[in-house]
Copies of this chain bind each other. A is one copy, B any other.
Amino acid sequence: MATRHKAAGNCPVERTLEVIGAKWTVLIVRDLVTGTKRFGQLLKSLQGVSPKTLSERLKELEASGVVTRTVYPEVPPRVEYSLTEKGHSLSAIIEEIRRWGEDWLPETAADQ
């Protein structure tokens, strides 16, 4: 993934955002926290993402060591995505994001 800006190396917040800062990435991780998913399952869950973008994000997450991709030699081949240990450790961030949404953004207000 492209470096966001020059000072990223100095701040752990910026380094993390290089891995999970792109649009859809946090939602992909959220979906994989609950278990292995196929490409089509992720595509369906992330309403509005294009197959091209989802594929790019998954490749970036693989390159970052957050996601593993497993191909099962069936006909047609079955491809599944899972979180690595590094990926699972992102769940603490996801939970804080979830908690903030629950505390500060009630569902009814967000639906206006």
Contacts and interface: CB of A to CB of B under 8 A. Distances in A.
B93 A8 contact: no
A100 interface: yes
A98 interface: yes
B48 A6 contact: yes
Given A23-B21, A89-B103, A104-B86, A97 B13 contact: yes
Interface residues of A, number: 44
A90 interface: yes
Given A26-B21, A48-B4, A93-B93, A16 B98 contact: yes
Contacts of A110: 8-9, 15, 18
Interface of A: 4-19, 21, 23, 26-27, 30, 46-49, 86, 89-90, 92-94, 96-105, 107, 110-111
